Structure 1
Amino acid sequence: MKPLRTRAGLSVRFDPRALVVGGLLCAAVLAASVVLIGTGDFEIPAADVIRTLLGNGEPAHQFIINDLRLPRVLVGLLVGAALGLSGAIFQSISRNPLGSPDIIGFGQGSAVGALTVIVLFQGSARDVALGSIAGGLLTGAVIYALAWRQGVHGYRLVLVGIGAAAVLTALNGYLLTKAHIVDAARAVVWLTGSLNGRDWEQVWPLLWLCAVLVPLVLSRARALRMLEMGDDVAYALGVPVERTRLLLMAAAVLLTAAATAAAGPVSFVALTAPQLARRLTRSPGPNLLPAALLGGTLLVTADLAAQRLFGADTLPVGVLTGLLGGVYLLWLLVTERKAGRI
């Protein structure tokens, strides 16, 4: 960390490596997004994509890019950023690398809410999104209440969440067995996690929610770093522990539920993005912004790989993130066991 003093006497500390990593991630996600926009049955060169995004493209390119492909990429960026940020929050609060929303039940809770709307009420896409958010919030409240005992201990939160995830996964299976064949097929497609067919109706709600929650979470970054040191240390440093923890958990649950509502339960992005961000920046603390940038980069890159390696729109992005994330989880468990932490 290096101090930077202004003429007015203000002092700001910054990490040069974190700034470089953040800049490289921004460049990477922009490059991947441009390539992804140009990918499809009708290939568009990167130069034409940039020209069209700046408003100087051909009419055919404007329709393909602005109406069909740009919303998909924006949903991918926002979903990845929301999952990366929520994963960083949960891992910092629990002080556990396994404290990810798709490990401790919040993603499964959102899926239960969405499946309930699909299977029992045959709801529209908007109803499914609202059901996903309601399911995520209800799951968050239940897990927080069950994990509470004179405060919320990190390992207790993870253990309660893993148990809740198992119950919710079984409930998802039960709902699928009771569904009609058409509703079951629709539910399975949604449960896979995909960016196919996403349009501006998914972009705007997620964009507004991120515009409110991301600055709120970033403004609590210092308090979250204090929480990583333990409740007693945070109290001594003047942090209102329970109020801060509850606020950040509510924001993380909302981000997870909104991301799940927009793209389905895309697995393991929330687990891997914060861990990789810490390894890249080598900086202490939650690394909230690098985690969000890396989450967006991972999801867009995974969607690009799914289209380039397997043909356009043939492999949902959730399948690829699940495969890669499962390998990462096994590696994480092995390293944590060798370190004696599990």
Structure 2
Amino acid sequence: MKNKSVEFIMAGRRQRHRRWILVTSLLATLSIILCSAMLLMGNTIYSVEDVIRVLLGEQVEGVSFAVNTIRLPRMLAGLFAGFAFGLAGNTFQTMLRNPLASPDIIGITSGSSVAAVFCIIVLHTSNAVISIASVIAGLATVTLIYILSRGSSFSVGRIILIGIGIQAMLNAVVSYLLLVGAQQDLPAAIRWLSGSLNGSQMHELPPLVITVLIFAPIVIVLRKHLGILELGEHSATSLGINTGKTRIALILSSVCMIALATATTGPIAFVAFLSGPIAKRLVGVGLSSVIPAGLVGVNLVLMSDLIGQFAFEVRYPVGIVTGILGAPYLIYLLIRMNRKGDL
């Protein structure tokens, strides 16, 4: 009887593992297809052969400029920003055990946005300074939320409520900066706030790429610890997890990624919020959704950008499309949580 139980458990584990591999492979394949579409499609649709020749360094008249200057930077910005948003959003939601605990819901993205808009409108600084300011503001926002939410015990609900309040305050600061800013600076700031891949340039991408390449592996390595943290503070401690150090590593990594992604593309709405729940639903219970969540973020950004470019007569920034997708889910989630008594 005991051997049959063990075999049943092992068969379930193998089935879940096969499902994880299948889901992750399909998401990665879809990401490759969307990246290819970003390079091939535009005002002119180029052949696969011409695009490959350009990527290999050849000069093809008419194709080289469009691919190297416009399409490749746009695709890379969407790829790395989407992965950063998806990974960071899933990390916060899992660590705090609440789908509302996303960086763009609890104010972290808004903190980075205030710093970026201030640099754009008031200081007129370079992109490097905007990136540094966004990271510092994101970390400062996390610290402020933690300080204000401290009590006799750790409370996820208190963190979320305080984060939502801070987000409202920071959004008011952004509105004030737009009101007092010079007229000539407003179009750039408003375009950035909508979340857009338009105007992405290769020289602006290294900070985002390097940040994702450094901090994404940290989150991936700690994915098992993240899953244990989801069980609760006491369970994680009893299983030998140093919850304080693990949380600090995960928070620092996630905030750095989300801040650099926000500084590069603007606050693309709801990608961090949607990626984790979608990945968990696809992967199922029992296995980590960290990598799938990052891939879902990539697919959401790239697909939404393609929809915004080609599905309508007027071209819309990617943040408009993701906002349309995410707002109904947020309303649905709030209604469901209210019925369950989680609010």
User: After TM superposition, is the score higher than 0.5?
Assistant: yes
Q: Answer whether contact 1:192 1:319 (CA < 8 A) is retained.
A: yes
Counting matched residue pairs gives 334
**What does residue 337 of structure 1 align with?**
338
Runs (5+) with no aligned partner, structure 2:
1-7
Matching residue's letter, 2:257? L
- Pick from 161, 171, 174 the counterpart of residue 172 of structure 1: 174
Q: Deviations over 1:109-151 (max 9, x none)?
A: 0011011112221223333233222221211221122223356
- Pick from 40, 43, 46 the counterpart of residue 41 of structure 1: 43
- Is it true that 1:140 corresponds to 2:130 in the alignment? no
Matching residue's letter, 1:273? S
Q: Answer whether contact 1:2 1:15 (CA < 8 A) is retained.
A: no
Residues of 2 paired with 1:217 and 1:43: CA distance? Answer: 38
Runs (5+) with no aligned partner, structure 1:
5-11
**What does residue 250 of structure 1 align with?**
252
Q: Answer whether contact 1:107 1:265 (CA < 8 A) is retained.
A: yes
**What does residue 8 of structure 1 align with?**
none
- Pick from 214, 224, 227 the counterpart of residue 225 of structure 1: 227
**What does residue 33 of structure 2 align with?**
31
- Paired residue secondary structure (2:205): helix
**What does residue 187 of structure 1 align with?**
189
Q: Alpha-carbon deviation of 1:156?
A: 1.8
**What does residue 5 of structure 2 align with?**
none
Q: Alpha-carbon deviation of 1:44?
A: 1.4
- Paired residue secondary structure (2:311): helix
Change (3 A) 1:203 1:13: farther
**What does residue 17 of structure 2 align with?**
15
Q: Answer whether contact 2:115 2:133 (CA < 8 A) is retained.
A: yes
Q: Answer whether contact 1:94 1:155 (CA < 8 A) is retained.
A: no
Residues of 1 paired with 2:33 and 2:213: CA distance? Answer: 23
RMSD: 2.3
**What does residue 315 of structure 1 align with?**
316
Residues of 2 paired with 1:85 and 1:250: CA distance? Answer: 13
**What does residue 241 of structure 1 align with?**
243
Higher mean C-alpha deviation, range 259-268 or range 43-52: 43-52
Instruction: Tell me the TM-score normalized by structure 1.
Output: 0.91
Higher mean C-alpha deviation, range 168-177 or range 291-300: 168-177
Question: After superposition, where does 1:1-342 map in structure 2 within 5 Å?
Answer: 15-46=17-48, 48-50=50-52, 52-53=54-55, 58-149=60-151, 152-284=154-286, 286-310=288-312, 314-342=315-343
Residues of 2 paired with 1:187 and 1:152: CA distance? Answer: 37
Residues of 2 paired with 1:101 and 1:43: CA distance? Answer: 37
Residues of 2 paired with 1:309 and 1:237: CA distance? Answer: 50
**What does residue 4 of structure 2 align with?**
none
Higher mean C-alpha deviation, range 179-188 or range 44-53: 44-53
Change (3 A) 1:148 1:250: farther
Residues of 2 paired with 1:311 and 1:254: CA distance? Answer: 36
Residues of 2 paired with 1:232 and 1:83: CA distance? Answer: 29
Higher mean C-alpha deviation, range 33-42 or range 273-282: 33-42
Residues of 1 paired with 2:124 and 2:9: CA distance? Answer: 56
**What does residue 7 of structure 1 align with?**
none
Change (3 A) 1:233 1:129: same
Q: Answer whether contact 1:2 1:14 (CA < 8 A) is retained.
A: no
